[in-house]
Amino acid sequence: MADMKRQEILGQIKEQGEVVRQLKAANAEKDKITEEVSKLLELKAQLGDGASQKFVLKTPKGTRDYTPKQMAIRNGVFNTITECFRRHGAETIDTPVFELKETLTGKYGEDSKLIYDLKDQGGELLSLRYDLTVPFARYLAMNKINKIKRYHIAKVYRRDNPAMTRGRYREFYQCDFDIAGQYDPMIPDAECVKIVHEILNDLGLGKFVIKVNHRQILDGMFAVCGVPEDKFRTACSSVDKLDKTFWEDVRAEMVDEKGIDPDAADRIGQYVRLNGGLELIDQLLQDPKMSSNKSAKDGLEAMRLLLRYCEIFGILDKVSFDLSLARGLDYYTGIIYEAILTGHETLSTKSGDQVGVGSVAGGGRYDGLVGMFDPKKKNVPCVGVSIGIERVFSIMEAKAKAEEAKIRTTHTQVLVASPTKGMLEERMKLCQHLWAAGIRAEIIYKKNPTILIQYQHAEKMDIPLIAVIAEQEIKDGTVTLRNTATREEGPVPREEIVAAIKARCQELGA
C-alpha cells in the first residue's frame, strides 16, 4: 500500500476512533455505537495487504442472526399467530421475495425511498418487496381473483434507519391477514380488529390499545383545517409520525418542509389530540365544520358502525378512536388501525405527555390498490392487518430472559443410550424402530460414550425420556425407560416400548 494512501487511512481511523469514543462517553444507543465501531474495523482492515487483509465478520446493518433459543421463541409466536389466522378461516399463499420495480413504484408515498432496488437482471428492473400487501394486490389482479381470505408470513425489506433494540430492522418478517371481496360495510374490518385483539391476548404481551381512525375522517379534518387537497397525503405522512415523535416536530415538518399554512397546522393540532369512543363521534358530529364536510361525516358514521361491531365481538374496551392515527401509506382508503403496547417504552414530550413507541400491528382498508394492476381498472375491495412480528419477538425475548425461563430448542422425545461398550448397532436399531413409529429420537454420535455423558446430554437438551439398553435388556427382551427429570426408571417389554414412550410423552406434554 502506498505511503500516502496508508497515511490517509490512518487519519480516517483516528477520526473514526474519536467518533466512537464520543458516542460511548455520551452513552449513545447501542445500535449507533455498533454501527460506528463497524466502520472503524472496516478502516483498520484496509491497512492489511492482499491475502493478509482482515475480513470483518458481521451481519449487514439492520439484520441479525438468531440462536436456537431465539428461534424457539419465534416459532412459538408464529404458531400462535398462524392458529389465530386459521381459526378465522384463512388460507395461505406465497409470492416472490422480489417484484418488478414498477409493481412497487408509487404505492408507498414518502416511504418509497426505503425500497431496496436490485441491479438490472437481464432487462428486468427489480426491487425487494417492501411489504406483503402490494404483492398480494398484484397476485389478485394477475390471477383475476375477486374473493379470498388469506394469510401470508414472510420476510420483507426496507432501507430504514434501524433501531434493533426496539425491533426495527431492514430485514424482517410480516404476518399478514387480508379479506378481499365485496361485503357489507365494516363486517370484515371489525373481524381484522378482533384478530389483532386475539393475537395480543394469546401472546400475553401485557396491556395494549387498538387505535382506529378513518381516511375519510382524516381527509375531512385536513379540508376543514385549510389544507389544500393536493397536500392531504403529505400532511397525513407527517401526522403518521406522532407515535414516534412530538407534535412540535410534526408541526415544524408540516410548515417548514411541506409548505402547509401555520394556522392550518395549529388547527390540525387541536384535532389530533382527540381520542375516545362513541362519545367522540357524537362530539365531532356536533362540530359545525366537521359535520358540514361530507367526507368527515361519512367517515364518522362508518366509525360508529365499526365500534358497534367491536362491542359485539367483546373488544370495545381495548379499542380507541384516535384522530392522531394516520398511517402514511398512500393506498389506504377507509378504516385504519394500529395496536400499541401501553406498558412498553414511552418518550416524554416537552409538555410532560407520554408518546408510546410500542406499535406491534397495523392495517386498514385499501379498496383501490388491486385496480392499479388490473388492465380494466377493476377494483377488488380489501381490508387487512399486519402483525409487527420483530417488535413482538424483542418483547418475548426480553420477557423470557427476565423470567429466566427454560426454553427447549429441540423436539426430541427420547434419547437412546447404553451404559456398556459395543452397543452402537443396538442403539441404532432401537432408534430406527422408534423413528419408524413416528417418535422423535436420537443417539450420541460416539461408538462408546459413557452413560454420564449421555445422561448429561439429555438433561442439557431437556429431552424428557431416555431409553437404556444393555446386554441384560437384550437378553430379557426389554428396554429400561428413564424419566430424565425425576430419574425414575423401570423395564418395559421391547414390543411395548413405542406405546410406553407415546403414553409418557402425552403425560409430560412432550
Q: Residue 387 class from Cβ within 10 Å (0-12 exposed, 13-18 middle, 19+ buried)?
A: buried
Sheet with 414-417: strands ordered across: 441-442, 414-417, 465-468, 478-483, 489-493
Per DSSP, the three-state class of 368 is: coil
Return d(Cα 340, Cα 335) in angstroms, integer. Answer: 17
Beta bridge pairs of residue 482 = 466, 489
Query: How much is the average pLDDT of 330-353?
Result: 70
pLDDT category, 49, cuts 50, 70, 90? low
pLDDT band at 424 (very low <50, low <70, confident <90, very high): very high
DSSP for 467-483, written as a single string: EE--HHHHHHTEEEEEE
Q: Has residue 56 got a pLDDT over 90?
A: no
User: Percent of the chain at pLDDT above 90?
Assistant: 52
Enter the C-alpha cell of residue 100.
418488478
Higher pLDDT, 89 or 42: 89
Nearest to 160 by CA among 171, 145, 146: 171
% of the chain with per-residue pLDDT over 70: 93
Confidence at 354, pLDDT banded by 50, 70, 90 = very low
pLDDT at 347: 42
pLDDT by residue (tens digit) across 19-33?
888 888 888 877 788
Whether residue 36 has pLDDT greater than 70 = yes
Q: Which of 311, 317, 290, 314 is nearest to 301 (CA)?
A: 290
Question: How many C-beta atoms surround the C-beta of residue 466 within 10 A?
Answer: 22
Q: What is the tens place of the pLDDT at every residue in 406-415?
A: 888 899 999 9
pLDDT of the residue at 350: 44
Please state, in angstroms and rounded to a whole number, the distance separating the CA atoms of residues 213 and 300.
9
pLDDT-based confidence at residue 363 (cuts at 50, 70, 90): very high
pLDDT, residue 387, reads 92
Q: Which of 155-159, 200-204, 390-394, 463-467 has the highest mean pLDDT?
A: 463-467
CB contact set of 229 (below 8 Å; sequence gap of 6+): 223
pLDDT in tens, 199-232: 999 998 888 999 999 999 988 988 888 888 877 7
505: CB partners within 8 A, 6+ apart: 413, 414, 439, 464, 465
Distance of CA 182 to the CA centre of its chain: 29
Q: What pLDDT does residue 466 have?
A: 97
Q: Which residue has the higher pLDDT, 75 or 39?
A: 75
Distances (CA, A) of 343 to 202, 204, 399: 17, 12, 13
* Three cell numbers written together for 40: 472503524
As a whole number of angstroms, the distance between CA 45 and CA 318 comes to 53
Position with higher pLDDT, 423 vs 46: 423
Q: What is the pLDDT of residue 120?
A: 76
List, for residues 73-95, the tens digit of each pLDDT value. 999 999 999 999 999 999 999 99
> Which pLDDT value is given to residue 29?
77
Query: Measured between alpha carbons, how far is 185 from 380 in angstroms, rounded to an integer?
Result: 14
**b or e along 37-61 (b: 16 or more beta carbons within 10 Å of the residue's beta carbon)?**
beebeebbebeeeeeeeeeeeeeee
Beta strands in 290-418 (DSSP E): 319-322, 335-341, 346-348, 354-356, 359-365, 382-387, 414-417
Distance CA 88, CA 83 (A): 9
The answer to whether 288 and 224 have CB atoms below 8 angstroms apart is no
Q: Is the pLDDT of residue 474 over 90?
A: yes
CA distance 212 to 194: 12
* pTM > 0.85: yes or no: no
Specify the range with the lowest mean pLDDT, choosing from 35-39, 48-52, 210-214, 388-392.
48-52
Instruction: Choose between 152 and 64: higher pLDDT.
Output: 152
Select the more confidently predicted residue: 221 or 180.
180
Q: Which residues pair with 151 in a beta bridge?
A: 92, 177
Strands 441-442 and 335-341, sheet pairing: unpaired
pLDDT, tens only, 102-149: 898 877 776 788 899 998 777 888 999 999 999 999 999 999 999 999
Q: Which three cell numbers stand for residue 238?
A: 407527517
Q: pLDDT category, 194, cuts 50, 70, 90?
A: very high
pLDDT band at 51 (very low <50, low <70, confident <90, very high): very low
Of the listed ranges 53-62, 182-191, 484-493, the one predicted with least confidence: 53-62
Q: Tell me the backbone φ, ψ of residue 238, rounded to 5 degrees.
A: -70, -45
